Amino acid sequence: MLSCPSCQSKSIKLNGHIHNGKQNHLCKDCGRQFVVNPENKVISKQEKALIDKLLLEKISLAGIARTMEVSEVWLQGYISDLYASCPEDLCATLPDQSAMDAYLEDKFDKYIYEILPLKKTLIRLSLLHHGRILRHLMVN
């Protein structure tokens, strides 16, 4: 005699078949649906911890799913749950606009001072070799 895995009730009725053809059952007391001898894989906490580490690497989701032997649908759902559990601001403190402007201005000034001498050198070299380039082009 079957009993419900949740409430151990013996009041069970047949409830159609699942996608792979196995008989589905329904508990009349608690409403739980279940299959006898399910084939689904239960993913342990250690496997989830490894999946978390693999997600931090530059590995495709298909590669992680193949390696960990989980379905891509389950993996995408797991990632969606992880994303939903993250706080909105990700606990980041952003600088105010004036601090950002000052930082970008310093970087801009630094690169401008590096670019101007290079530009002058290129102009000087192009003028120096301009005649040679023109003569080379005329000959060919």
**CB within 8 Å of 17: residues ≥ 6 apart:** 23, 24
Report the chain's C-alpha Rg in angstroms: 33
Can you give the pTM of this predicted structure? 0.45
pLDDT beyond 90 at 78: yes
Q: What is the pLDDT of residues 56-76, one digit of tens each?
A: 998 999 999 999 999 999 999
For the chain, the structural domain boundaries read 1-40, 45-85, 95-140
The DSSP 8-state label assigned to residue 112 in this structure reads H
Contact 42/53 with Cβ under 8 angstroms? no
